[in-house]
């Protein structure tokens, strides 16, 4: 069997189960049956059971089989895609650093605080949200799409491209879910933000944010000096890190909900 088909099949298992359990139809049904905590445990279990095979198959097969786009072989394309990838990485790290101030975090806190007035309008977008309403998803899509275009093999391109597609699907479903939960409050926030607006990077509010300095330094260390780590095992460490941080974030959210 072609390596690209193997990785594509494993990606369907991971991505399909991930989106299915997060959908507006399946999630409420599972939460109603098992409770919020039970659903979270099941969601984590399914994620681990489907993502670990993706990491293993990528490490074993992603460097074999049919040729990929390999745009990195062209100097101009390599520089452009490298810059695009670095920009996405900065946006991704900035989103993680500033997550506690994001609209999504604020709305999650409101859901937990039942006595709080749920009709109060959200504050102005943060410096990160002025550039992208979903900086984590958009940043991850930029990072992985550029690597898919530079991949030597079709299997490796499919591995990175899967993350880009999942990120784009994630931001769409998250917008739809939050719009349904918060109606006009989230609609107003959407009206003040865009999926990506690089023209706002020079605005005073954005330039004053220290989050960008932290994100840029982190990206230089992680994706610059630490680049050999990310290229090891055909890029499989990227999925491993995403899985690890996803598990840690979920555990933190469960503790907050319990309190």
- What's the CA gap between 105 and 95, in Å, rounded? 11
Backbone torsions φ then ψ of 82, nearest 5 degrees = -65, -45
Confidence (pLDDT) at 12: 94
Confidence (pLDDT) at 201: 63
Confidence (pLDDT) at 229: 83
Tokens, residue 104: 């999504």
DSSP labels, the chain: --HHHHHHHHHHHHHHHHHHHHSTTHHHHHHHHHHHHHHHHHHHHHHHHHHHHHHHHHHHHTTSSSB---GGGSHHHHHHHHHHHHHHHHHHHHHHHTGGGSHHHHHHHHHH-TTS-TTSPP-PPPTTTTT-SSHHHHHHHHHHHHHHHH-SBHHHHHHHHHHHHHHHHHHHHHHHHHHHHHTHHHHHHHHH--S--GGGGGSHHHHT-THHHHHHHHHIIIIIITHHHHHGGGGHHHHHHHHHHHHHHHHHHHHHHH-
Confidence (pLDDT) at 198: 75
Tens digit of each residue's pLDDT (9 = 90 or more) over 12-36: 999 999 888 887 677 778 878 888 8
Confidence (pLDDT) at 1: 56
Residue pair 148/157 in contact (Cβ under 8 Å)? The answer is yes
Confidence (pLDDT) at 231: 86
Confidence (pLDDT) at 81: 94
Q: What distances in angstroms separate CA 237 from CA 19, 28, 58, 163, one per listed residue?
A: 22, 33, 10, 13
Tens digit of each residue's pLDDT (9 = 90 or more) over 79-115: 999 999 999 999 999 999 998 889 988 887 877 665 5
Confidence (pLDDT) at 76: 94
Q: List the chain residues with pLDDT less than 50.
A: none
CB-based contacts of 179, cutoff 8 Å, min separation 6: 186, 187, 190
């Amino acid at each position: 069997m072609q390596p690209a088909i193997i990785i594509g099949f494993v990606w369907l298992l991971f991505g399909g189960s991930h989106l299915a359990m997060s959908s507006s139809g399946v999630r409420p049904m599972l939460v109603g049956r098992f409770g919020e905590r039970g659903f979270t445990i099941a969601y984590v279990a399914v994620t681990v059971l489907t993502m670990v095979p993706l990491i293993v198959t990528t490490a074993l097969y992603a460097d074999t089989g049919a040729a990929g786009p390999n745009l990195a072989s062209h100097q101009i394309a390599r520089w452009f895609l490298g810059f695009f990838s670095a920009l996405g990485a900065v946006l991704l790290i900035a989103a993680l650093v500033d997550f506690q101030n994001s609209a999504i975090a604020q709305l999650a806190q409101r859901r937990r605080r039942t006595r709080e007035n749920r009709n109060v309008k959200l504050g102005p977008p943060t410096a990160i949200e002025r550039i992208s309403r979903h900086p984590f998803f958009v940043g991850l899509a930029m990072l992985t799409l550029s690597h898919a275009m530079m991949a030597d093999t079709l299997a490796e391109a499919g591995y990175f491209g899967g993350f880009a597609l999942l990120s784009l699907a994630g931001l769409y479903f998250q917008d739809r879910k939050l719009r349904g939960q918060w109606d006009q409050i989230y609609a107003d926030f959407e009206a003040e933000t865009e999926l990506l607006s690089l023209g706002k990077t020079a605005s005073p509010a954005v330039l004053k944010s220290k989050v960008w300095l932290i994100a840029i330094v982190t990206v230089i260390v992680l994706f610059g000096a630490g680049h050999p780590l990310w290229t090891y095992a055909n890029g499989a460490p990227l999925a491993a890190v995403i899985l690890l941080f996803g598990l840690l974030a979920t555990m933190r959210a469960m503790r907050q909900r319990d309190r």
